[in-house]
A and B are shown apart, each in its own frame.
Chain A
């Protein structure tokens, strides 16, 4: 028996969603972005909403998200994705509009845009990748960098007196009446990825129900920036990131009712 004999439809147990393009990803091996991209593409395919979905990509490593997921994309200036999404959704209320943003983009330079999109209750999904570091620019401190964590701009570890405290945004926006669904997930195991996928799907579904903004935070790894192997990075994330950014639902207005 050769491999061609095995490659038959009846033997198929897994295939790449056609919504993921064949472009070679620029993400480092071990990076969480690739997994999250796959989940987003799968959800859009499964919901059959490719023609109704607009993605807004940020500035950061995932600026090139538009190369990998086969939907219409708008690329935003650093931090401004929620402003773009606000206008796209208000002008095209029947569409599914989501932003995909990193921690520097969303939690630092774009803090005003995300807070006010939440306060206004924009009917969009925000996917927030929190890996505690600026990946694309070479590993500088992010607002979510943990105390003591070494980055290229905190070479002796983040010091609260010098650099301030880590930004924890999910519970902050949960206080705002305009948010509908806020959850923290991860993608470091198959089980975690399945839960993250369900959260992304729920966020997209909520975005056309008129209940407000959905926010799916993915606590993620940046093994290159953290200077760890992918396996070590996963372990480090569980041991250090999860205590500060616990996994689980923070708010769900449809469930909490």
Chain B
């Protein structure tokens, strides 16, 4: 039987990185995610797997270390929280432009500005819509548990290398800080240099005489070349949209009303769904696991069946735009959210549901 241990979500990221044979982690301290680097430093994986762990001088530097490591074909990652992710957006745009695989964990806190160190989901627009300059997308995974945190590291690298694209694990202060049972999946060793080259023949890590030189760049000054490259990126994003949508549903079979919620909000919405079911309201919940690609078709299909939908988020209305686009006017779409580090209770959500649907 697989071993289960009690871990914080942030610790699960670190333990998973070591156990999944990740080559390097580069980070900078910021609340509420500092346990990721603290755990790695305590575990000292450079003595066991050979994984490199480095505390950089800034988030700007850590994301550019990720760029350099990824450009040499290695599995490299970083983690931060909202203000740090803002700083990283330049680097993330370069990673997307150079088509480099990496995993970035955003353990969200409230903004704007220095905001608060309390949990939030207000980086949805920044992370899901890109964040940096240019027409690019991140693949975005939204964990709702410490187990998701553990599992999404490996899944993230799998997707990142399959599509040569940055993957963001969009967590939040709750998922990062919450302690839960985590099943440790079978370990994966770090890849040999031969395997690295075979996975990433494009890697710039020394030119043997057998091939042309590899150049990792996002620069092309010719308009037609740059336009063509952007169309190629869009084709990749279309393919990701077609193949990689992940979501979970809860009590939707006979649902007349739907909650849409991601990450920690989906956990609270489950309880709100149960509460409302007990009161006789046929409510279900859709939890997008991938935020890009967004499960737009599922929302659209549900919009044909339900009387209304509500997007429930720890922000003042970001994912709701995508829900509305997908529902495309086929049913009313409402919103309820909290801000500033406040977290809604199931009762509060149930009340908002009744208000929106004029049940009171």
Q: Which residues of A contact B (CB under 8 A)?
A: 50-54, 56-57, 63, 66, 70-77, 80, 83-88, 90-92, 95, 112-113, 116
Contacts and interface: CB of A to CB of B under 8 A. Distances in A.
Contacts of A116: 56-57, 61
A74 B71 contact: yes
A91 B74 CA distance: 8
A91 B72 contact: yes
Contact of B206 (A54, A57, A77): A54
B64 A76 contact: yes
A237 B207 CA distance: 36
Nearest to B94: A77
Chain A CB within 10 Å — which of B68, B72, B216 has the most?
A: B68
A198 B223 CA distance: 41
Contacts of A95: 205-206
Contact of A87 (B57, B69, B215, B219): B69
Given A112-B57, A112-B61, A116-B61, A72 B68 contact: no
Given A56-B68, A87-B76, A75 B218 contact: yes
Given A66-B217, A75-B215, A84-B67, A54 B61 contact: no
Contacts of A113: 57, 60-61, 64
A85 B68 contact: yes
Interface in B1-60: 23-24, 26, 52, 54, 56-58, 60
Interface string B191-235: 000000000000111111100011111110000000000000000
B54 A75 contact: no
Given A54-B204, A112-B57, A112-B61, A91 B23 contact: yes
26 contacts: A51-B207, A54-B206, A57-B217, A66-B215, A70-B213, A72-B205, A72-B206, A72-B215, A73-B217, A74-B67, A75-B98, A75-B215, A75-B216, A77-B90, A80-B64, A83-B56, A83-B62, A84-B67, A86-B54, A86-B65, A87-B54, A87-B65, A87-B76, A91-B72, A112-B58, A113-B61
Contact of B213 (A71, A75, A77, A84): A71
A71 B216 CA distance: 12
Contacts of B213: 66, 70-73
A239 to B, nearest CB: 36
B149 interface: no
Chain B CB within 10 Å — which of A53, A70, A76, A91 has the most?
A: A91
B205 A88 contact: yes
Given A71-B213, A75-B219, A87-B26, A80 B91 contact: yes
Nearest to A95: B206
Interface of B: 23-24, 26, 52, 54, 56-58, 60-62, 64-69, 71-72, 74, 76, 90-91, 94, 98, 203-209, 213-219
B94 A72 contact: no
A54 B72 contact: yes
A91 B24 contact: yes
Contacts of B69: 87-88, 91
A88 B207 contact: no
Contacts of B66: 87
Contacts of A74: 67-68, 71-72, 204, 215-217
Contacts of A90: 24, 52, 54
Nearest to A113: B61
A80 B56 CA distance: 12
Given A77-B94, A87-B26, A91-B76, A70 B207 contact: yes
A218 to B, nearest CB: 23
A140 B69 CA distance: 33
Contacts of A83: 56, 60-62, 64-65, 67-68
A76 B61 CA distance: 11
Contacts of A85: 68
Given A72-B214, A87-B24, A91-B69, A80 B206 contact: no
A34 B217 CA distance: 21
A80 B215 contact: no
A72 B214 CA distance: 5
Contacts of A56: 68
Contacts of B24: 87, 90-91
Contact of B61 (A50, A57, A63, A80): A80
A73 B204 contact: yes
A129 B217 CA distance: 21
Contacts of A71: 206-207, 213
A57 B207 CA distance: 16
B211 to A, nearest CB: 10
A92 B200 CA distance: 15
A111 to B, nearest CB: 11
Given A70-B213, A83-B56, A116-B61, A76 B205 contact: no
Nearest to B58: A112
Chain A CB within 10 Å — which of B24, B61, B208, B218 has the most?
A: B61
A84 B64 CA distance: 6
A40 to B, nearest CB: 14
Contacts of A51: 206-209
Nearest to A64: B219
A19 to B, nearest CB: 10
A92 B205 contact: yes
